[in-house]
Amino acid sequence: MSQLGLWVSFSVVILVLMAVDLGLLNRQAHVISLKEAARWTVVVVLVALAFNGWIFYERGSQSGFEFLAGYVLELALSVDNVFVFILILSYFRVPTAYHHRVLIWGIIGALILRGGAIAAGAILISSFHWITYVFGAFLVVTGVRMAFHDEQDIEPESNPVLKLIRRFMPISPSYDGSKFFTKQVIAGTAKDLATPLFVVLIMLDVTDLVFAVDSIPAVFGVTLDPFIVFTSNVFAICGLRSMYFLLAGIVDKFHFLKLGLALVLTFAGVKMLLVFFHIEIGVVPSLGVVTSALAVSVVASMLLKKKDKHHSPVEHHEV
Sorted by where each begins, the domain ranges of the chain are 3-151+208-303
Sign of CA dihedral 147, 149, 150, 156: negative
Question: How many angstroms separate the CA atoms of 191 and 170, rounded?
Answer: 9
- pLDDT score recorded for residue 150: 57
Question: How many angstroms separate the CA atoms of 55 and 308, rounded?
Answer: 42
In this structure, the number of other CB atoms found within 10 A of the CB of residue 115 comes to 13
Sign of CA dihedral 136, 53, 116, 181: negative
- pLDDT score recorded for residue 314: 45
**Predicted TM-score of the model (pTM):** 0.75
Quick one: 142 exposed, middle or buried, by C-beta within 10 A (0-12, 13-18, 19+)? buried
Q: What string of pLDDT tens digits covers the 319 residues of the chain? A: 677 777 888 888 888 887 777 655 555 666 677 787 788 888 889 999 999 999 998 888 999 999 998 898 888 877 767 777 877 888 888 888 888 888 888 888 888 888 888 888 888 888 887 888 888 888 888 888 877 765 555 565 666 777 787 787 888 888 888 888 888 766 667 788 888 889 889 888 887 887 777 778 888 888 888 889 889 888 888 877 777 877 776 666 777 877 888 888 888 889 888 888 888 888 888 888 888 888 888 888 888 876 555 544 444 444 3
CB-based contact 161:206 (threshold 8 Å): yes
Half-sphere exposure of 8 (CA within 13 A, CB side): 5
Sequential DSSP letters for 186-254: ETTEEEEEE-HHHHHHHHHHHHHHHHHHHHHHHHHTT---HHHHHHHHHHHHHTHHHHHHHHTTTGGG-
CB-based contact 229:183 (threshold 8 Å): no
- pLDDT score recorded for residue 50: 92
Question: How many angstroms separate the CA atoms of 229 and 176, rounded?
Answer: 38
Question: How many angstroms separate the CA atoms of 214 and 199, rounded?
Answer: 24
CB-based contact 316:157 (threshold 8 Å): no
